[in-house]
Amino acid sequence: MKRKITFIMGISILFMFFLSALTIVVPRVFNVSPYIIGDDHMAPEYRKNGLVFVRKQSRDIRKGDLITYYENQGKAIKTRRVLTADNQLGGYFVKGDQMLQAEMGVIHARNIIGEPAFYVPYLGILMNDYYMNIIKLLLLLSSVFLTLATLFSQQDYHRNVFLE
């Protein structure tokens, strides 16, 4: 029974490590930043609660390009398709693929984060603050439990070895 619990806890910690690596190491290696998709306006390509990895824009933005940008002074982050550039206003008009009309207002170059590099569906659910705190707590509790289970099983093992 103790071995089953240890095995299950080990797999759980390995899974948490994999999620951490995916959200910390991968962005550093590929020079991208992860952002959570907040709506379904770009479905089916980018769905709500998916995790989009964004890299800095490598070329001039053209009609039809996808961009990720800050909205409302950084309170929201959106990914949309560029409809046209407005050189007089110094920005871009954008639209979600599922929307019939363009977004209100102009997206200025200073608000653009970059272009989506790749996308992982549903992972954004785990990456929001509420679930991240729960995952951290579960990881802490499982590591404490695993450590205590290992210590007690080692004491039982040593006690049995010395008694024989």
User: In terms of domains, do 79 and 59 share one?
Assistant: yes
The number of folded domains in the chain is: 2
Domain that holds residue 147: 1-30+128-164
Please say if the pLDDT value at position 9 is more than 80.
Answer: no
Question: 81: phi > 0 → left, psi -120 to 50 → alpha, else beta; which?
Answer: beta
User: In terms of domains, do 13 and 71 share one?
Assistant: no
User: In terms of domains, do 75 and 134 share one?
Assistant: no
User: In terms of domains, do 9 and 65 share one?
Assistant: no
Q: How many distinct helices (H) and strands (E) make up the chain? A: 3, 7
114 band by pLDDT with thresholds 50, 70 and 90:
very high
Mean pLDDT of the chain: 84
CA separation for the pair 10, 47 (Å, rounded): 32
User: In terms of domains, do 37 and 102 share one?
Assistant: yes
pLDDT at residue 83, rounded to an integer: 95
Please say if the pLDDT value at position 66 is more than 80.
Answer: yes
CA separation for the pair 33, 141 (Å, rounded): 29
Average pLDDT over residues 102-112: 91
Average pLDDT over residues 67-89: 90
pLDDT at residue 81, rounded to an integer: 96
Residues above pLDDT 90, as percent of the chain: 38
User: In terms of domains, do 41 and 112 share one?
Assistant: yes
Q: Where are the beta strands (DSSP E) in the chain?
A: 33-36, 51-55, 66-71, 76-86, 91-95, 107-108, 112-120
User: In terms of domains, do 98 and 115 share one?
Assistant: yes
- Report the alpha-carbon angle 99-104-106, nearest 5: 120
User: In terms of domains, do 66 and 114 share one?
Assistant: yes
pLDDT at residue 153, rounded to an integer: 72
User: In terms of domains, do 70 and 115 share one?
Assistant: yes
User: In terms of domains, do 41 and 61 share one?
Assistant: yes
CATH number for the domain that contains residue 67: 2.10.109.10
User: In terms of domains, do 74 and 47 share one?
Assistant: yes
pLDDT at residue 93, rounded to an integer: 95
User: In terms of domains, do 162 and 142 share one?
Assistant: yes
